[in-house]
Structure 1
Protein backbone atom coordinates (compact mmCIF):
# COMPACT_ATOMS: atom_id res chain seq x y z
CA UNK A 1 0.00 0.00 0.00
CA UNK A 2 1.24 3.43 -0.98
CA UNK A 3 -0.48 6.08 1.15
CA UNK A 4 -0.50 9.59 -0.35
CA UNK A 5 -1.53 12.37 2.02
CA UNK A 6 -3.70 15.28 0.95
CA UNK A 7 -1.08 17.88 1.87
CA UNK A 8 1.49 16.25 -0.43
CA UNK A 9 -0.54 16.72 -3.61
CA UNK A 10 0.49 19.19 -6.31
CA UNK A 11 -1.44 22.46 -6.06
CA UNK A 12 -2.64 24.96 -8.66
CA UNK A 13 -4.15 28.18 -7.30
CA UNK A 14 -5.38 31.10 -9.37
CA UNK A 15 -8.07 33.69 -8.69
CA UNK A 16 -11.00 31.40 -9.61
CA UNK A 17 -9.56 27.90 -9.07
CA UNK A 18 -8.08 25.91 -6.20
CA UNK A 19 -6.99 22.57 -7.63
CA UNK A 20 -5.13 19.65 -6.04
CA UNK A 21 -3.58 17.00 -8.29
CA UNK A 22 -2.87 13.42 -7.21
CA UNK A 23 -0.66 12.81 -10.26
CA UNK A 24 1.58 14.85 -12.53
CA UNK A 25 -0.61 17.43 -14.22
CA UNK A 26 0.04 20.52 -16.31
CA UNK A 27 3.28 22.16 -15.27
CA UNK A 28 3.53 19.84 -12.24
CA UNK A 29 5.71 17.14 -13.79
CA UNK A 30 7.00 14.31 -11.63
CA UNK A 31 8.19 11.32 -13.74
CA UNK A 32 7.62 8.67 -11.01
CA UNK A 33 4.10 9.98 -10.38
CA UNK A 34 2.32 10.10 -13.74
CA UNK A 35 -0.37 7.45 -13.13
CA UNK A 36 -1.52 4.40 -11.21
CA UNK A 37 -2.80 1.59 -13.39
CA UNK A 38 -4.79 3.32 -16.14
CA UNK A 39 -5.77 6.29 -13.95
CA UNK A 40 -3.93 9.34 -15.26
CA UNK A 41 -5.58 12.20 -13.35
CA UNK A 42 -7.44 12.64 -10.08
CA UNK A 43 -8.00 16.38 -9.77
CA UNK A 44 -9.77 17.88 -6.75
CA UNK A 45 -11.09 21.23 -8.00
CA UNK A 46 -12.89 24.10 -6.27
CA UNK A 47 -14.25 26.67 -8.76
CA UNK A 48 -15.42 30.14 -7.76
CA UNK A 49 -18.98 31.30 -8.61
CA UNK A 50 -19.56 32.56 -12.14
CA UNK A 51 -16.21 31.31 -13.41
CA UNK A 52 -14.58 28.13 -14.67
CA UNK A 53 -12.78 26.42 -17.50
CA UNK A 54 -13.33 28.09 -20.88
CA UNK A 55 -13.70 25.94 -24.00
CA UNK A 56 -10.65 23.69 -24.36
CA UNK A 57 -9.78 20.45 -26.20
CA UNK A 58 -9.34 16.83 -25.12
CA UNK A 59 -8.35 13.76 -27.10
CA UNK A 60 -8.17 9.99 -26.47
CA UNK A 61 -9.18 10.08 -22.81
CA UNK A 62 -12.14 8.83 -20.75
CA UNK A 63 -13.09 11.72 -18.43
CA UNK A 64 -15.33 11.08 -15.43
CA UNK A 65 -16.57 14.07 -13.42
CA UNK A 66 -17.99 13.66 -9.91
CA UNK A 67 -19.42 16.73 -8.17
CA UNK A 68 -19.26 16.83 -4.37
CA UNK A 69 -20.76 20.27 -3.68
CA UNK A 70 -22.55 22.87 -5.77
CA UNK A 71 -23.26 22.51 -9.48
CA UNK A 72 -21.19 22.56 -12.67
CA UNK A 73 -22.36 23.54 -16.15
CA UNK A 74 -21.03 21.34 -18.96
CA UNK A 75 -21.19 22.29 -22.66
CA UNK A 76 -19.34 20.55 -25.49
CA UNK A 77 -18.83 20.48 -29.25
CA UNK A 78 -21.03 17.36 -29.54
CA UNK A 79 -24.03 19.47 -28.58
CA UNK A 80 -24.33 18.22 -25.00
CA UNK A 81 -25.14 20.68 -22.24
CA UNK A 82 -26.42 20.34 -18.72
CA UNK A 83 -25.84 20.81 -15.02
CA UNK A 84 -23.85 18.25 -13.04
CA UNK A 85 -24.65 18.08 -9.33
CA UNK A 86 -23.92 15.67 -6.44
CA UNK A 87 -25.21 12.20 -7.20
CA UNK A 88 -25.07 12.64 -10.99
CA UNK A 89 -22.46 10.56 -12.81
CA UNK A 90 -20.98 12.05 -15.99
CA UNK A 91 -18.61 10.59 -18.58
CA UNK A 92 -17.11 12.21 -21.65
CA UNK A 93 -15.13 10.09 -24.12
CA UNK A 94 -12.78 12.47 -25.92
CA UNK A 95 -11.84 10.02 -28.71
CA UNK A 96 -10.68 11.73 -31.89
CA UNK A 97 -11.19 15.12 -30.25
CA UNK A 98 -13.79 17.19 -28.43
CA UNK A 99 -14.10 20.74 -27.12
CA UNK A 100 -15.87 21.49 -23.86
CA UNK A 101 -16.25 24.03 -21.09
CA UNK A 102 -17.00 23.59 -17.39
CA UNK A 103 -18.25 26.53 -15.38
CA UNK A 104 -19.85 27.39 -12.09
CA UNK A 105 -22.54 29.55 -13.70
CA UNK A 106 -25.79 27.60 -13.43
CA UNK A 107 -27.73 30.84 -12.87
CA UNK A 108 -26.96 32.04 -16.40
CA UNK A 109 -27.55 28.58 -17.90
CA UNK A 110 -31.22 28.45 -16.90
CA UNK A 111 -33.48 25.90 -18.55
CA UNK A 112 -35.34 22.94 -17.09
CA UNK A 113 -32.34 21.72 -15.08
CA UNK A 114 -31.66 25.01 -13.32
CA UNK A 115 -33.84 24.07 -10.36
CA UNK A 116 -31.44 21.18 -9.63
CA UNK A 117 -28.52 23.55 -9.19
CA UNK A 118 -27.22 24.38 -5.73
CA UNK A 119 -26.90 27.97 -4.56
CA UNK A 120 -25.43 29.83 -7.50
CA UNK A 121 -23.26 32.06 -5.32
CA UNK A 122 -21.35 29.13 -3.81
CA UNK A 123 -18.15 27.49 -5.04
CA UNK A 124 -18.46 24.11 -6.71
CA UNK A 125 -16.18 21.25 -5.69
CA UNK A 126 -15.62 18.33 -8.02
CA UNK A 127 -13.29 15.41 -8.63
CA UNK A 128 -12.31 14.91 -12.25
CA UNK A 129 -10.63 11.65 -13.24
CA UNK A 130 -8.96 10.65 -16.49
CA UNK A 131 -8.56 7.05 -17.67
CA UNK A 132 -6.87 5.93 -20.88
CA UNK A 133 -9.22 4.15 -23.31
CA UNK A 134 -8.69 0.68 -24.73
CA UNK A 135 -7.89 2.15 -28.12
CA UNK A 136 -7.32 5.64 -29.55
CA UNK A 137 -9.23 7.35 -32.31
CA UNK A 138 -12.79 6.36 -31.40
CA UNK A 139 -15.85 8.54 -31.96
CA UNK A 140 -16.34 11.01 -29.06
CA UNK A 141 -19.24 10.28 -26.73
CA UNK A 142 -21.10 11.54 -23.68
CA UNK A 143 -23.22 9.94 -20.96
CA UNK A 144 -24.76 10.94 -17.64
CA UNK A 145 -27.12 9.36 -15.13
CA UNK A 146 -28.30 10.11 -11.61
CA UNK A 147 -27.26 7.53 -8.99
CA UNK A 148 -28.35 9.26 -5.80
CA UNK A 149 -30.83 6.54 -4.82
CA UNK A 150 -28.22 3.80 -5.17
CA UNK A 151 -25.73 5.75 -3.06
CA UNK A 152 -28.27 6.19 -0.27
CA UNK A 153 -28.70 2.41 -0.03
CA UNK A 154 -25.07 2.09 1.08
CA UNK A 155 -22.33 -0.29 0.06
CA UNK A 156 -19.97 0.11 -2.87
CA UNK A 157 -21.88 1.52 -5.86
CA UNK A 158 -20.45 0.94 -9.34
CA UNK A 159 -20.68 4.34 -11.03
CA UNK A 160 -18.57 3.94 -14.18
CA UNK A 161 -17.20 0.80 -15.80
CA UNK A 162 -16.09 -0.81 -19.00
CA UNK A 163 -15.73 -4.24 -17.40
CA UNK A 164 -17.96 -7.11 -18.41
CA UNK A 165 -18.48 -8.02 -14.75
CA UNK A 166 -20.38 -4.76 -14.18
CA UNK A 167 -22.15 -4.56 -17.52
CA UNK A 168 -25.58 -4.61 -15.88
CA UNK A 169 -24.64 -2.65 -12.77
CA UNK A 170 -22.70 0.47 -13.72
CA UNK A 171 -24.50 3.77 -14.21
CA UNK A 172 -22.29 4.93 -17.08
CA UNK A 173 -19.89 3.13 -19.41
CA UNK A 174 -16.23 3.97 -19.99
CA UNK A 175 -14.23 2.67 -22.92
CA UNK A 176 -11.76 0.66 -20.90
CA UNK A 177 -12.70 -2.97 -20.36
CA UNK A 178 -10.24 -3.35 -17.48
CA UNK A 179 -11.40 -0.52 -15.19
CA UNK A 180 -14.32 0.47 -13.01
CA UNK A 181 -15.06 3.34 -10.64
CA UNK A 182 -17.04 2.74 -7.45
CA UNK A 183 -18.30 5.16 -4.78
CA UNK A 184 -19.05 4.38 -1.15
CA UNK A 185 -21.01 6.72 1.09
CA UNK A 186 -20.20 5.58 4.60
CA UNK A 187 -22.82 6.40 7.24
CA UNK A 188 -22.82 5.88 11.03
CA UNK A 189 -23.89 2.34 11.79
CA UNK A 190 -23.17 1.06 8.30
CA UNK A 191 -21.11 -2.07 7.83
CA UNK A 192 -17.54 -1.86 6.52
CA UNK A 193 -17.20 -2.03 2.74
CA UNK A 194 -14.86 -4.60 1.17
CA UNK A 195 -12.71 -3.34 -1.69
CA UNK A 196 -12.78 -5.29 -4.96
CA UNK A 197 -10.09 -7.89 -5.52
CA UNK A 198 -7.96 -6.42 -8.29
CA UNK A 199 -4.28 -6.09 -9.24
CA UNK A 200 -4.49 -2.31 -8.76
CA UNK A 201 -6.79 -0.07 -6.76
CA UNK A 202 -6.89 3.67 -6.15
CA UNK A 203 -8.80 4.69 -3.01
CA UNK A 204 -9.52 8.41 -2.58
CA UNK A 205 -11.30 9.97 0.40
CA UNK A 206 -13.35 12.70 -1.25
CA UNK A 207 -15.27 13.80 1.86
CA UNK A 208 -14.88 13.17 5.56
CA UNK A 209 -12.51 10.60 6.98
CA UNK A 210 -12.25 6.82 6.82
CA UNK A 211 -10.18 3.87 7.96
CA UNK A 212 -8.72 1.40 5.48
CA UNK A 213 -7.56 -2.00 6.68
CA UNK A 214 -3.78 -2.11 6.38
CA UNK A 215 -3.44 1.64 5.85
CA UNK A 216 -5.08 3.07 8.97
CA UNK A 217 -6.89 6.42 9.32
CA UNK A 218 -7.38 8.48 6.16
CA UNK A 219 -8.38 12.14 6.10
CA UNK A 220 -10.22 14.05 3.39
CA UNK A 221 -8.00 14.25 0.32
CA UNK A 222 -5.85 11.27 1.29
CA UNK A 223 -5.39 8.47 -1.25
CA UNK A 224 -4.06 4.92 -1.18
CA UNK A 225 -2.56 3.17 -4.20
CA UNK A 226 -2.83 -0.59 -3.80
CA UNK A 227 -0.95 -3.11 -5.91
CA UNK A 228 -1.24 -6.87 -5.73
CA UNK A 229 -4.81 -7.48 -4.63
CA UNK A 230 -7.80 -5.99 -2.82
CA UNK A 231 -10.39 -7.22 -0.35
CA UNK A 232 -9.43 -4.76 2.40
CA UNK A 233 -12.21 -3.34 4.55
CA UNK A 234 -13.13 0.34 4.42
CA UNK A 235 -15.06 1.88 7.30
CA UNK A 236 -15.76 5.04 9.28
CA UNK A 237 -13.42 5.85 12.17
CA UNK A 238 -14.64 4.84 15.60
CA UNK A 239 -16.70 7.62 17.13
CA UNK A 240 -14.78 9.82 19.52
CA UNK A 241 -11.35 9.13 18.06
CA UNK A 242 -9.15 11.84 16.60
CA UNK A 243 -9.52 10.24 13.17
CA UNK A 244 -13.30 10.68 13.25
CA UNK A 245 -13.02 14.46 13.34
CA UNK A 246 -15.20 16.77 15.44
CA UNK A 247 -17.83 17.73 12.87
CA UNK A 248 -18.22 14.93 10.36
CA UNK A 249 -20.05 11.64 10.85
CA UNK A 250 -20.04 10.35 7.28
CA UNK A 251 -17.60 9.95 4.40
CA UNK A 252 -17.54 9.57 0.63
CA UNK A 253 -14.82 7.45 -0.92
CA UNK A 254 -14.02 6.92 -4.61
CA UNK A 255 -12.46 3.57 -5.55
CA UNK A 256 -10.94 2.76 -8.94
CA UNK A 257 -10.65 -0.95 -9.67
CA UNK A 258 -8.08 -1.72 -12.40
CA UNK A 259 -7.02 -4.96 -14.01
CA UNK A 260 -4.55 -3.36 -16.44
CA UNK A 261 -1.78 -0.82 -16.56
CA UNK A 262 -0.57 1.29 -19.45
CA UNK A 263 1.20 -1.76 -20.82
CA UNK A 264 -1.94 -3.90 -20.91
CA UNK A 265 -3.75 -6.44 -18.67
CA UNK A 266 -2.08 -7.50 -15.41
Structure 2
Protein backbone atom coordinates (compact mmCIF):
# COMPACT_ATOMS: atom_id res chain seq x y z
CA UNK A 1 0.00 0.00 0.00
CA UNK A 2 1.23 3.49 -0.84
CA UNK A 3 0.01 6.57 1.03
CA UNK A 4 0.62 10.22 0.19
CA UNK A 5 -0.60 13.13 2.32
CA UNK A 6 -1.41 16.48 0.73
CA UNK A 7 -1.72 19.09 3.47
CA UNK A 8 -3.94 22.02 2.65
CA UNK A 9 -1.14 24.52 3.31
CA UNK A 10 1.21 22.81 0.84
CA UNK A 11 -0.99 23.36 -2.20
CA UNK A 12 -0.08 25.78 -4.93
CA UNK A 13 -1.84 29.14 -4.65
CA UNK A 14 -2.68 31.85 -7.17
CA UNK A 15 -4.24 35.19 -6.26
CA UNK A 16 -5.64 36.95 -9.33
CA UNK A 17 -7.66 39.45 -7.33
CA UNK A 18 -11.02 38.27 -8.66
CA UNK A 19 -9.95 34.63 -8.20
CA UNK A 20 -8.16 32.85 -5.38
CA UNK A 21 -7.25 29.32 -6.42
CA UNK A 22 -5.53 26.50 -4.56
CA UNK A 23 -3.99 23.80 -6.76
CA UNK A 24 -3.41 20.30 -5.37
CA UNK A 25 -1.75 19.27 -8.64
CA UNK A 26 0.39 21.18 -11.12
CA UNK A 27 -1.81 23.68 -12.93
CA UNK A 28 -1.29 26.93 -14.86
CA UNK A 29 1.57 28.80 -13.14
CA UNK A 30 1.98 26.20 -10.39
CA UNK A 31 4.33 23.33 -11.16
CA UNK A 32 5.46 20.59 -8.80
CA UNK A 33 7.03 17.52 -10.44
CA UNK A 34 5.86 15.38 -7.52
CA UNK A 35 2.27 16.53 -8.01
CA UNK A 36 1.30 15.97 -11.62
CA UNK A 37 -1.62 13.61 -11.06
CA UNK A 38 -2.88 10.75 -8.90
CA UNK A 39 -3.94 8.03 -11.29
CA UNK A 40 -6.80 9.42 -13.39
CA UNK A 41 -7.09 12.50 -11.15
CA UNK A 42 -5.32 15.29 -13.01
CA UNK A 43 -6.66 18.54 -11.50
CA UNK A 44 -8.14 19.41 -8.11
CA UNK A 45 -8.65 23.15 -7.81
CA UNK A 46 -10.26 24.82 -4.79
CA UNK A 47 -11.52 28.13 -6.18
CA UNK A 48 -13.14 31.29 -4.83
CA UNK A 49 -14.49 33.81 -7.36
CA UNK A 50 -15.66 37.32 -6.50
CA UNK A 51 -19.15 38.51 -7.38
CA UNK A 52 -19.68 39.29 -11.07
CA UNK A 53 -16.36 37.73 -12.10
CA UNK A 54 -15.40 34.45 -13.74
CA UNK A 55 -13.65 32.49 -16.46
CA UNK A 56 -14.31 33.72 -20.00
CA UNK A 57 -14.92 31.32 -22.88
CA UNK A 58 -12.11 28.76 -23.19
CA UNK A 59 -11.75 25.31 -24.79
CA UNK A 60 -11.27 21.80 -23.38
CA UNK A 61 -10.95 18.38 -24.97
CA UNK A 62 -10.64 14.79 -23.78
CA UNK A 63 -11.13 15.48 -20.10
CA UNK A 64 -13.89 14.68 -17.61
CA UNK A 65 -14.58 17.92 -15.71
CA UNK A 66 -16.58 17.99 -12.49
CA UNK A 67 -17.65 21.18 -10.69
CA UNK A 68 -18.99 21.11 -7.12
CA UNK A 69 -20.15 24.47 -5.68
CA UNK A 70 -19.52 24.63 -1.94
CA UNK A 71 -21.16 28.03 -1.40
CA UNK A 72 -22.87 30.31 -3.92
CA UNK A 73 -23.65 29.47 -7.53
CA UNK A 74 -21.91 29.26 -10.92
CA UNK A 75 -23.29 30.38 -14.28
CA UNK A 76 -22.30 28.04 -17.10
CA UNK A 77 -22.47 28.77 -20.84
CA UNK A 78 -21.02 26.72 -23.68
CA UNK A 79 -20.86 26.71 -27.47
CA UNK A 80 -23.73 24.24 -27.76
CA UNK A 81 -26.07 27.00 -26.59
CA UNK A 82 -26.43 25.55 -23.11
CA UNK A 83 -26.92 28.08 -20.29
CA UNK A 84 -27.21 26.73 -16.73
CA UNK A 85 -26.93 27.85 -13.12
CA UNK A 86 -25.06 25.42 -10.86
CA UNK A 87 -26.10 25.95 -7.23
CA UNK A 88 -24.79 24.72 -3.91
CA UNK A 89 -25.79 21.03 -3.54
CA UNK A 90 -25.56 20.64 -7.34
CA UNK A 91 -22.84 18.67 -9.09
CA UNK A 92 -21.96 19.30 -12.74
CA UNK A 93 -20.08 17.01 -15.08
CA UNK A 94 -18.85 17.83 -18.56
CA UNK A 95 -17.19 15.37 -20.92
CA UNK A 96 -15.07 17.60 -23.11
CA UNK A 97 -14.51 14.76 -25.60
CA UNK A 98 -13.71 15.97 -29.11
CA UNK A 99 -13.84 19.57 -27.90
CA UNK A 100 -16.09 22.07 -26.17
CA UNK A 101 -15.82 25.76 -25.32
CA UNK A 102 -17.42 27.10 -22.16
CA UNK A 103 -17.39 29.93 -19.64
CA UNK A 104 -17.98 29.91 -15.89
CA UNK A 105 -18.96 33.03 -13.97
CA UNK A 106 -20.13 33.75 -10.47
CA UNK A 107 -23.94 33.83 -10.77
CA UNK A 108 -24.07 36.60 -8.14
CA UNK A 109 -22.96 40.18 -8.70
CA UNK A 110 -22.12 40.64 -5.01
CA UNK A 111 -21.51 37.34 -3.18
CA UNK A 112 -18.47 35.11 -3.74
CA UNK A 113 -18.79 31.57 -5.03
CA UNK A 114 -16.54 28.79 -3.78
CA UNK A 115 -16.28 25.54 -5.70
CA UNK A 116 -14.14 22.52 -6.48
CA UNK A 117 -13.07 22.02 -10.09
CA UNK A 118 -11.86 18.48 -10.75
CA UNK A 119 -10.46 16.99 -13.95
CA UNK A 120 -10.08 13.30 -14.69
CA UNK A 121 -8.45 11.67 -17.68
CA UNK A 122 -11.24 9.94 -19.65
CA UNK A 123 -11.67 6.22 -20.19
CA UNK A 124 -12.55 6.69 -23.86
CA UNK A 125 -11.13 9.53 -25.92
CA UNK A 126 -12.84 11.63 -28.58
CA UNK A 127 -16.40 10.93 -27.48
CA UNK A 128 -19.13 13.44 -28.32
CA UNK A 129 -19.08 16.29 -25.78
CA UNK A 130 -21.74 15.94 -23.11
CA UNK A 131 -23.04 17.88 -20.13
CA UNK A 132 -25.12 16.93 -17.10
CA UNK A 133 -25.90 18.36 -13.70
CA UNK A 134 -28.03 17.27 -10.78
CA UNK A 135 -29.13 18.47 -7.36
CA UNK A 136 -28.26 16.15 -4.47
CA UNK A 137 -30.09 16.29 -1.14
CA UNK A 138 -27.46 16.88 1.59
CA UNK A 139 -29.62 14.93 4.05
CA UNK A 140 -28.76 11.81 2.03
CA UNK A 141 -25.08 12.11 3.00
CA UNK A 142 -25.66 12.46 6.75
CA UNK A 143 -23.55 9.73 8.36
CA UNK A 144 -23.38 7.83 5.08
CA UNK A 145 -21.73 8.10 1.69
CA UNK A 146 -23.76 9.74 -1.06
CA UNK A 147 -22.53 8.69 -4.50
CA UNK A 148 -22.72 11.68 -6.85
CA UNK A 149 -20.57 10.47 -9.77
CA UNK A 150 -20.45 6.91 -11.12
CA UNK A 151 -19.62 4.96 -14.31
CA UNK A 152 -22.74 2.89 -13.75
CA UNK A 153 -25.72 3.94 -15.83
CA UNK A 154 -29.30 4.18 -14.58
CA UNK A 155 -28.30 5.25 -11.06
CA UNK A 156 -29.00 8.43 -9.09
CA UNK A 157 -25.43 9.58 -9.70
CA UNK A 158 -24.06 11.53 -12.66
CA UNK A 159 -22.49 9.27 -15.29
CA UNK A 160 -18.76 9.66 -15.96
CA UNK A 161 -16.63 8.41 -18.83
CA UNK A 162 -14.18 6.74 -16.44
CA UNK A 163 -14.18 3.90 -13.91
CA UNK A 164 -14.51 6.39 -11.05
CA UNK A 165 -16.93 6.97 -8.19
CA UNK A 166 -17.24 10.24 -6.23
CA UNK A 167 -18.98 10.21 -2.84
CA UNK A 168 -19.81 13.08 -0.49
CA UNK A 169 -20.12 12.53 3.24
CA UNK A 170 -21.32 14.64 6.17
CA UNK A 171 -20.57 12.69 9.33
CA UNK A 172 -21.10 13.49 12.99
CA UNK A 173 -18.24 13.28 15.47
CA UNK A 174 -16.97 9.80 16.35
CA UNK A 175 -18.57 8.06 13.39
CA UNK A 176 -16.60 5.35 11.57
CA UNK A 177 -16.80 3.56 8.26
CA UNK A 178 -14.59 1.49 5.99
CA UNK A 179 -14.39 1.77 2.25
CA UNK A 180 -12.98 -0.65 -0.32
CA UNK A 181 -12.20 0.39 -3.91
CA UNK A 182 -14.94 -0.61 -6.34
CA UNK A 183 -12.48 -2.09 -8.83
CA UNK A 184 -9.20 -3.93 -8.42
CA UNK A 185 -6.36 -1.50 -9.06
CA UNK A 186 -8.34 1.61 -8.15
CA UNK A 187 -6.95 4.05 -5.60
CA UNK A 188 -8.70 6.38 -3.16
CA UNK A 189 -8.36 10.12 -2.75
CA UNK A 190 -10.11 11.67 0.27
CA UNK A 191 -10.33 15.47 0.69
CA UNK A 192 -11.57 16.91 3.98
CA UNK A 193 -13.85 19.88 3.29
CA UNK A 194 -14.51 20.82 6.92
CA UNK A 195 -13.84 19.32 10.33
CA UNK A 196 -11.23 16.61 10.88
CA UNK A 197 -10.90 12.85 10.69
CA UNK A 198 -8.53 9.95 10.93
CA UNK A 199 -7.95 7.94 7.74
CA UNK A 200 -5.92 4.85 8.41
CA UNK A 201 -3.19 6.11 10.74
CA UNK A 202 -3.26 9.68 9.43
CA UNK A 203 -5.06 12.64 11.01
CA UNK A 204 -6.45 15.12 8.49
CA UNK A 205 -7.76 18.64 9.05
CA UNK A 206 -9.91 20.80 6.76
CA UNK A 207 -8.51 20.85 3.20
CA UNK A 208 -5.98 18.11 3.95
CA UNK A 209 -6.16 15.06 1.70
CA UNK A 210 -4.92 11.48 1.63
CA UNK A 211 -4.12 9.53 -1.54
CA UNK A 212 -3.93 5.76 -1.11
CA UNK A 213 -3.23 3.04 -3.67
CA UNK A 214 -2.74 -0.71 -3.45
CA UNK A 215 -5.12 -1.13 -0.51
CA UNK A 216 -8.01 -3.46 0.30
CA UNK A 217 -9.91 -0.99 2.46
CA UNK A 218 -9.57 2.40 4.14
CA UNK A 219 -10.81 2.90 7.70
CA UNK A 220 -12.09 6.39 8.52
CA UNK A 221 -13.19 7.89 11.87
CA UNK A 222 -14.38 11.46 12.30
CA UNK A 223 -12.83 13.49 15.12
CA UNK A 224 -15.56 16.16 14.96
CA UNK A 225 -18.49 16.95 12.67
CA UNK A 226 -16.87 16.58 9.26
CA UNK A 227 -17.62 16.91 5.56
CA UNK A 228 -15.47 15.29 2.88
CA UNK A 229 -15.21 14.16 -0.72
CA UNK A 230 -14.03 10.60 -1.43
CA UNK A 231 -12.87 9.70 -4.93
CA UNK A 232 -12.42 6.07 -6.04
CA UNK A 233 -10.50 6.07 -9.34
CA UNK A 234 -8.19 4.14 -11.65
CA UNK A 235 -4.47 4.35 -11.07
CA UNK A 236 -3.52 3.21 -14.59
CA UNK A 237 -4.08 5.92 -17.22
SS in 1 for 2:34: helix
What SS is found at the alignment partner of 1:261?
coil
Asked if 1:204 corresponds to 2:194, the answer is: no
Query: For the structure 1 residues 151 and 86, does the alpha-carbon distance in structure 2 shift closer, same or farther, using more than 3 Å as the test?
Result: farther
- Whole-Å Cα distance in 1 between the matches of residues 214 and 191 of structure 2? 18
> Matches of 2:194 and 2:82 in 1, distance apart?
29
Tell me the CA shift for residue 75 of structure 1. Answer: 1.1
Structure 1 segment 83-122 matched on structure 2, within 5 A = 83-106=85-108, 121-122=110-111
Structure 2 residue 144 is the aligned partner of structure 1 residue 195: no
CA gap 1:76/1:3 in 2 versus in 1, 3 angstroms: same
The structure in which a higher percent of residues are helix is 1
* 8 A contact 1:187–1:236 mirrored in 2: yes
Q: Following the alignment from structure 1 to structure 2, what is the Cα–Cα distance between the partners of residues 235 and 96?
A: 42
Q: Secondary structure at the match of 2:231?
A: strand
CA contact (8 A) 2:199 2:220 kept: yes
Give 5+ residue unaligned stretches, structure 1. 107-119, 238-243, 245-249
Residues 230 and 55 (structure 1 numbering): CA distance in 2 closer, same or farther, change over 3 Å? farther
Q: Which runs of 4+ in 1 moved over 6 A?
A: none
The CA deviation string for residues 127-177 of structure 1, in whole angstroms up to 9 with x for no partner, is 110011112211100001111156344311111121x4xx4445201111x
1:231 aligns with 2:217: yes
The 1:126/1:230 distance shift into structure 2, 3 A limit, reads farther
TM-score (norm 1): 0.81
Q: Secondary structure at the match of 1:7?
A: helix
Query: What secondary structure does 1:229 align onto?
Result: coil
**Aligned equivalent of 1:15:** 17
SS state of the match for residue 30, structure 2?
coil
**Structure-2 change in CA distance of 1:76 and 1:193 (3 Å):** farther
Task: Give the alignment's Cα RMSD to 1 decimal.
Answer: 1.8
| 1:31 partner SS | coil
Which deviates further from its counterpart, 178-187 or 2-11? Answer: 178-187
State the alpha-carbon separation in 2 of the partners of residues 8 and 230 from structure 1.
Answer: 28
Q: 1:184 aligns with which of 144, 169, 182?
A: 169
Which digits, 9 at most, give the CA deviation of each residue in 1:5-53, with x for residues without a partner?
A: 0000011111101100110111212223110010000100011111011
Q: Give 5+ residue unaligned stretches, structure 2.
A: none
Corresponding pairs, count = 232
- Establish whether residue 258 from structure 1 lines up as the match of residue 233 from structure 2: yes
Answer yes or no: is the 8 Å Cα contact 1:158–1:169 preserved in 2.
Answer: no
Where does residue 3 of structure 1 map in the other structure? Answer: 5
Deviation at 1:211, TM superposition (A): 2.2
Residue equivalent to 1:28 = 30
Residues 1:172 and 2:180 are matched in the alignment = no
